[in-house]
Amino acid sequence: MDANSVTAICATVIAVASLAVSITEARASRRHNFQSVRPLLSLDCFRMNSGMAGIRIRNAGLGPAIIRVTTLYLDGEELGPWEKQVVDPLRDTFAVWPNFSSLRPGKPIPVGQELIILAVEEYDPARDAEFWAAVTQRIRIHVQYESIYGNERQEAWFEGSPPHRNSLNWQQGGAAGSSTDNDAQVEPSQSLQ
């Protein structure tokens, strides 16, 4: 082998190695870009001291969520998508007509945004007992969404809430302690992806 052949072989090896590194870097960069805009939706029920109570959806991810499919269930029966014509008959059964926001396919939910999708503005425990029972026990919502890349479909579920308790057993030995916090009446998150 002469010097020109060795130089040509070395140049070819370097070019192939460079191509392999470039392909690996491009894949890693693409994977990073997908992960850096990944949304994470959560749905939960809430009661605030301001008087508002209902269901909200939040995007706690790193990128906007694009709604693809929503499904409302009432008492285990599928009613249809979370849209006005499906939810209005349910809204009509409550003492006060709750506010409503639809989740139509293609609707974006930006990073950090909270959207209240069903709520009464001035919750009254006696008047709105049926509303709260529906929110915490009867209504289930399934949301399918994806990132702006549209590369993978994700899911979030709203599955109500356990009953709110004012007293808990805080000490060992059975002595009951009281846990009444009038400033924090937010129900726990139910279903994340």
Q: Let me know whether 56 and 69 are in one domain.
A: yes
Does 44 share its domain with 23?
A: no
Domain boundaries, position 29 = 1-33
Shared domain check, 96 and 60: yes
Task: Assess whether 86 and 11 both reside in one domain.
Answer: no
Residues 115 and 133 in one domain: yes
If we measure between CA atoms, which residue out of 162, 161, 72, 150 comes closest to residue 117?
72
Residues 101 and 6 in one domain: no
Residues 1 and 44 in one domain: no
Number of domains composing the chain? 2
Any domain includes 175: no
Same domain, yes or no, for 147 and 88?
Answer: yes
Closest CA to 118 of 137, 141, 136, 101: 101
Q: Is position 176 within any domain? A: no
Tell me, yes or no, whether 44 lies in a domain. Answer: yes
Residue type, 12: T
In angstroms, the CA 53 to CA 96 distance is 12
Residues 74 and 11 in one domain: no
Answer yes or no: do 85 and 6 share one domain: no
Distance CA 161, CA 142 (A): 15
Together in a domain, 144 and 50:
yes
Asked if residues 37 and 147 have their Cβ atoms less than 8 Å apart, the reply is yes
What's the CA gap between 166 and 49, in Å, rounded? 15
Phi, psi of 92 (to 5 degrees): -70, -15
One-letter amino acid at 42 equals: S
Q: List the beta strands (DSSP E) in the chain.
A: 41-47, 53-59, 65-74, 77-80, 99-100, 108-109, 114-120, 139-146, 153-158, 167-168, 177-178, 189-192
Whole-prediction pTM: 0.70
CATH of the domain at 68: 2.60.40
Distance spanning both ends of the chain, measured CA to CA: 62
Task: Give the pairing of strands 139-146 and 167-168.
Answer: unpaired
One pLDDT digit (tens) per residue for the chain, 193 residues: 788 888 888 889 999 999 998 888 888 887 776 667 889 999 999 999 889 999 999 999 999 999 999 999 999 999 999 999 999 999 999 999 999 999 999 999 999 999 999 999 999 999 999 999 999 999 999 999 999 888 788 999 999 876 554 433 333 343 333 223 333 344 444 433 3
